[in-house]
Amino acid sequence: MTNTDSLYRLAAGTLMPGFQGTTAPAWVLSALDEGLASVCIYGPNIASPAQVTELMGALRAAAPQALFTLDEEGGDVTRLHYLTGSNQPGNAVLGRLNDPATTASSAAAIAAELRELGFNLNLAPDADVNSTDTNPVIGVRSFGADAELVARHTVSWVAGLQDAGVAACAKHFPGHGDTSTDSHHTLPTIDVDRQTLTTRELVPFAAAIDGGIASIMTSHIMVPSVDSEHPATFSRAILHDLLRAEMGFEGAIITDALDMAGASAETGIEVAAVRALAAGADLLCLGSETTQERYAGIVEAIVRSVRDGHLSLERLQDAARRTAELAAAYSPSANWPEATEAPGPAIAAAFDVSASARRWIELPQAAEFVTFDSATNLAVGHVPWGPAAVQAHTDIGNISADSKLALIGRGIDEHHGIWKAAADLRRSGREVIVVDCGWPRMKVDLVTFGASRAVAAALVDFLTR
């Protein structure tokens, strides 16, 4: 192998592209043969259980040693169940149940599904402390607003996943919970002093490191108390000085998707890739719509930066080494224990139920559920949610004349259309409750703290018991 070949292979060994379509493109298979470290699967890559089984079989056959990856948080963020909604409750529900064993069981169930298909890295759990109720991108993806509770359940979730043979990745370091903007679209700022950062945002990550987490994901946010010039993904002060030197993390540092506006809107993804590696990242998530041309351009940019002296060869070698060690530690061919079947949690125990909702439940009329369109974020995507995910939705134009009505939304704020509908129906004499399947922003009759298929089934059962 020539030095040039070796350098290109090193660069490929730090990359994790996605791709478009439901079959493995020839360029991805070729890149895997040439040293590509990882491939990330997204919701639009999945068309059916049989198709994803065939897809993963083709990818794993092409690269038995690679990291095959997805975001399977359970709850609202699901890739494996993108077509139906997740069969797991999600972090906010697990945090409210506050039983670490239940949290670990949920993660182990996810690991069993992933490992059967050939995945060995899961970009989860979300370890953010959701300290801002209006956070547009975290919300129910978080275990809660208390740092110690989030830390406790992060550790349990990581153990459940990794003990079953799938590497975990705590995100979004150093903490995305205290933002009111979404880094998919802009560059948020965590404007807290270093003491607050240490005693709130960093607590779950420190616990995860102590618990042996395999990888940690960066966030595209500004944290001026640590680095006033560079977003976390591109900050040596945050990735090396804080995460490596101060917190003692020795695993792989993975970037959030570099095609997000908070990472590359101003510079382009090729520059962002080099900056992330130089700052201390090891595995670069390139995003869901990576093309052959973009991938080749990123590899070339990394190689050129080493030749030009803008990125040291030692840093690139270190990144490729840490990524390869992660893959080796979670080899699908290892003899991992079989997952044990655990009873599902009593999800409804996590609901916040008002007196008005309890009175509504006792009314003798038949219940109908009306789901209102609610904005979501790119992390969630277009996944069936709420009662509609379990075929319990009635269009508002088709409601019965004498039923009681549960109006369902998520992330309901004062401007949400659900309020006018509720007021109009109540004026006409109907019995109505308003249900929020998200993180509550204002007072409603019932909050589920999640919108997954599992939570939706529990909600329908709870309201019709």
Nearest to 285 by CA among 14, 7, 5, 8: 14
CB 280 within 8 A of CB 236: yes
Residue 1 vs residues 4, 15, 62, 179: alpha-carbon distances, Å? 8, 20, 21, 48
Q: Residue 3: its pLDDT value, please?
A: 56
3-state secondary structure of 71: coil
> Which regions of the chain are under pLDDT 50?
1
Strand order in the sheet with 67-70: 38-41, 67-70, 121-122
Instruction: Examine the residue annotation and report whether 256 is marked as an active-site residue of this protein.
Output: yes
Instruction: Examine the residue annotation and report whether 308 is marked as an active-site residue of this protein.
Output: no
Of 81, 153, 172, 184, catalytic: 184
Q: Residue 134: its pLDDT value, please?
A: 85
Q: Measured between alpha carbons, how far is 328 from 317 in angstroms, rounded to an integer?
A: 16
Tokens of 66: 């690679």
Of 256, 259, 436, 445, catalytic: 256
Please report, for the chain, the start and end positions of each structural domain, with discontinuous segments joined by +: 3-329, 347-463
3-329 folds as TIM Barrel (3.20.20)
**What is the pTM (predicted TM-score) of this model?**
0.95
Q: Residue 420: its pLDDT value, please?
A: 96
- In whole numbers, what is the pLDDT of the chain averaged over residues? 94
Tokens of 371: 């789901």
HEC profile of 302-323? HHHHHHHCCCCHHHHHHHHHHH
Q: Measured between alpha carbons, how far is 188 from 186 in angstroms, rounded to an integer?
A: 6
58 class by beta-carbon count within 10 Å (0-12 exposed, 13-18 middle, 19+ buried): middle
Tokens of 309: 């002296």
Q: Residue 331: its pLDDT value, please?
A: 93
Buried b (16+ CB within 10 A) or exposed e, 75-102: bbbbbbbbeebbbbbbbbbbbbbeebeb
Nearest 5 degrees, angle CA 333-CA 319-CA 266? 120
Q: Where are the alpha helices (DSSP H) in 397-445?
A: 418-427
Q: Residue 1: its pLDDT value, please?
A: 44
